[in-house]
Amino acid sequence: MSETPKNPSPADLDRMTDAELVRLGTQLDEVDIRFRENRWPDGVTSRSEKRAARVVTIWFALSAVLALAFAVVYIAWPWEYRGQGEDGYWLYMLYTPLLGLTIGLSILFLGFGAVQFTKKFIPEEISVQTRHDGPSEEIDRRTIVAGLNDSWKTSTLGRRKVMGGFLGASVALIGLSAILPLGGMIKNPWRRGELNIAGDGTLHTTGWTLASDTRPDGLPAEKVYLGRDTGKVYPDGHPPAGEGRLERIHVEDLSAGGLESVFPLPASALGDFEEHMHSIHGVRNSVMLIRFRPADAARVIKRKGQENFNYGDLYAYSKICTHLACPTSLYEQQTHRFLCPCHQSQFDALEYAKPIFGPAARALPQLPIAVDSEGYLVANGDFIEPVGPAFWERRS
């Protein structure tokens, strides 16, 4: 090997071999390699080397298989909710544990393989380096690249095709597993499903749309009560027959100054616990029902086109913030403001819930309400504008 020049010119660098560049790099970095030895002798493949290669390959292979299993479980496992006692309950219950188990073991086995590979195949080396400051120069970059090339060659990974293949597959599949769950968030917001207690899947509808005279499914309007959540739960998940979670609100139920969260409760679903839970979980369903004190009700400013949406001093506003859809669940009774806790938007309840502070730019939509012959509060139609944040096709 020729003597390594102390201050090589670009022409010298071009002439130098990788080994010479590595040596130059260590000198320039003031690295003192005290000890360096390949794990296995060059040119001879012993049985113990083969055994070591096999063990590492198996770890990488197991990691790749489990990453693949994660993808298969994520895509194909029956994940739809099943209640206790229903067919498919245990398969449903296994979905999340299986996702965690497969991706967790995949990463663990990849780690085992990497540790074993480093211990069995990367040359043993003891180096001492003094640290220094400053940016990297051309010479440093060249020597670093040479060092990486040297690591690749001496690691022997280049000639261990099967092991390298499984390592690559494992890393690629684990990367895929990280991206794959994003697929569940991609959804066509205009794909119209059946209109039910949570809307029809598009951004224009909610469970209250069932009360609309112009329903998108063409069916006649249903009677939809304002339903109060009683919070009932049953330890075995099975409510007695006819036992609902939502209950109707009588016009006398709410005292002056009071506020209640309500959800759509179709007359056809009274006492249907499961439907009530779907109503509560409907992302655009929740509404704040508020009863102003007489003095406050006299100061209310109504929005044009919504003059008959209230029933006396009772008003119903969507709870979904028009900024980014957080629940505007805080009500300041003295100032009559709804406050959204996410980014502090405030809405004036006395003036059609128009925004008066924060990033929200539109009023909270108002639900038209009425009282039926028995004195229960019902929706008097649907919202006249979409609930929640802006979207491209929105006109209001």
Asked if 390 touches ligand FES (CB under 6 A), the answer is no
What is the closest distance, in whole angstroms, from the C-beta atom of residue 361 to ligand FES in the complex? 10
How far is the CA of 199 from the CAs of 21, 40, 93, 322, in angstroms? Answer: 68, 67, 27, 18
Asked if 327 touches ligand FES (CB under 6 A), the answer is no
Query: Which span (14-22, 140-148, 257-265, 335-343) binds ligand FES, by CB under 6 A?
Result: 335-343
Query: Which span (25-33, 179-187, 254-262, 341-349) binds ligand FES, by CB under 6 A?
Result: 341-349
Between 257 and 389, name the residue whose CB sits nearer to ligand FES: 389
Asked if 339 touches ligand FES (CB under 6 A), the answer is no
Asked if 324 touches ligand FES (CB under 6 A), the answer is yes
Asked if 343 touches ligand FES (CB under 6 A), the answer is yes
Asked if 342 touches ligand FES (CB under 6 A), the answer is yes
What is the closest distance, in whole angstroms, from the C-beta atom of residue 219 to ligand FES in the complex? 33
- Token readout for 291 is 């009863």
Asked if 171 touches ligand FES (CB under 6 A), the answer is no
Q: How far is the first Cα of the chain from the last one, in angstroms, to the nearest whole number?
A: 79
Query: Which span (140-148, 252-260, 338-346, 365-373) binds ligand FES, by CB under 6 A?
Result: 338-346
What is the closest distance, in whole angstroms, from the C-beta atom of residue 309 to ligand FES in the complex? 22
What is the closest distance, in whole angstroms, from the C-beta atom of residue 296 to ligand FES in the complex? 24
Judged by phi (left if over 0) then psi (alpha if -120 to 50, else beta), residue 237 lies in left
Q: Find, among 303, 318, 311, the residue nearest to 208 by Cα.
A: 318
Q: Find, among 206, 244, 247, the residue nearest to 225 by Cα.
A: 247
CA distance 213 to 211: 7
Binding test (CB under 6 A) with ligand FES, winner from 360, 363, 378, 379: 360
Asked if 98 touches ligand FES (CB under 6 A), the answer is no
- Token readout for 29 is 């970095």
Asked if 356 touches ligand FES (CB under 6 A), the answer is no
CA distance 394 to 204: 9
What is the closest distance, in whole angstroms, from the C-beta atom of residue 328 to ligand FES in the complex? 6
CA distance 249 to 370: 12
Give the binding-site size for ligand FES (rule: CB under 6 A): 11
- Token readout for 147 is 């060092």
CA distance 368 to 379: 6
Binding test (CB under 6 A) with ligand FES, winner from 359, 370, 384, 390: 359
Q: What is the DSSP string of 186-234?
A: ---TT-----BBTBSSSTT--GGGGG-TT-TT-PPPPPEEEEEE-----
Q: What is the DSSP string of 363-395?
A: PPPBPPEEE-TTSBEEE-S--SS--SS--TT--
* DSSP-assigned letter for residue 211: G
What is the closest distance, in whole angstroms, from the C-beta atom of residue 256 to ligand FES in the complex? 27
Binding test (CB under 6 A) with ligand FES, winner from 195, 340, 367, 379: 340
Asked if 326 touches ligand FES (CB under 6 A), the answer is yes
Would you say 209 and 195 are in contact if contact means Cβ atoms under 8 Å apart?
yes
Give me the residues that bind ligand FES (CB under 6 A), please: 321, 323-324, 326, 340, 342-343, 345, 358-360
